[in-house]
A = this chain, B = another copy of it.
Amino acid sequence: MESIESDTDLAGKIEKRISESTIRRLSLYLRALSLLDKKGVKTISSKELASREKLTPAQVRKDLSFFGSFGTRGLGYPVSELRSEIAGILGINRIWKVALFGVGNIGSAMVSYKEFARQGFQIVKLFDNDQRKIGSNHKGIIVSDVSNLEPEIKEAGIEIAIIGVPATVAQYIVDDIVAAGIKAILNFAPINLKVPSDVYLRNENMSMELEYLSFAMVNNHSEKKTKP
């Protein structure tokens, strides 16, 4: 059934609230579909896709229905087409230029992490404040001085910053990054950063997942589903 009000609503009035969970599941669908596409699979049902991600078929259909009707009744969804639809929804059918701040342990891992590039996130600038690191070459990128970030970020067309500096200096760096016009930040520092309301901030807290495992173990609790 076609919905009366289009999701890409012309007037921009009726804004549907898409839950964070739905967006996270879109990432999962995308990964599964990319794999299927590479294998040459042409169509997939919500049931089959759901079972691969340990979700329910209804959940898959509902998630997709927020954005349009991509399937064919009786047949399922066209793998390749759905893959690119989801990429479009997530905004990764393009290249995003990313700058990484802090060429330490985490920073170095990020530069080499192939999965980012595969999703269209290109790390094109590295910044540090350590004179020994500035000027050195990491995977073909010369480390710049963080005290001169604004012109370099603007020139390179950076739109996303990854924070890999220690918690003690993260807020100062972020203030500079925000001042330079960056609107999206992925933070690895174990601290709550303050940013203006028009800047998107996500925190990656790796201890949290270990703590969750620890909790599950000491409480002898059986999970029903494993979430990403």
**Residues of A bordering B, CB below 8 Å:** 1-2, 4-8, 18, 20-21, 23-24, 26-27, 30-32, 52-54, 89-92, 96, 98, 104-106, 108-110, 112-113, 115-116, 119, 121, 159-160, 183-186, 190, 192, 197-198, 200-228
| Chain B residues within 8 Å of A216, by CB | 4, 184, 200
CB distance A228 to B206 under 8 Å? no
| Chain B residues within 8 Å of A4, by CB | 216, 219, 221-224
A25 smallest CB distance to B (angstroms): 10
Query: Given A203-B226, A221-B4, are A27 and B208 also a contact pair (CB < 8 Å)?
Result: yes
Q: Could you say which of A20, A21, A198, A207 has the most chain B C-beta atoms within 10 Å of its C-beta?
A: A207
CB distance A207 to B109 under 8 Å? no
Q: 6 closest Cβ contacts across the A-B interface?
A: A91-B218, A109-B109, A105-B112, A91-B214, A4-B221, A105-B109
How long is the Cα–Cα vector from A223 to B4 in the complex, in angstroms? 5
How long is the Cα–Cα vector from A124 to B22 in the complex, in angstroms? 37
Q: How many copies does the complex hold?
A: 2
A68 smallest CB distance to B (angstroms): 14
Nearest to A197 among chain B residues (CB) is: B222
Of the A-B pairs whose beta carbons lie under 8 Å apart in the complex, a sample of 25, sorted by A's number, is A2-B225, A4-B216, A4-B219, A8-B219, A24-B208, A26-B215, A27-B211, A90-B214, A90-B218, A91-B215, A91-B219, A96-B210, A104-B112, A105-B108, A105-B109, A105-B112, A108-B109, A115-B190, A121-B214, A159-B217, A186-B209, A186-B213, A198-B222, A200-B216, A202-B213
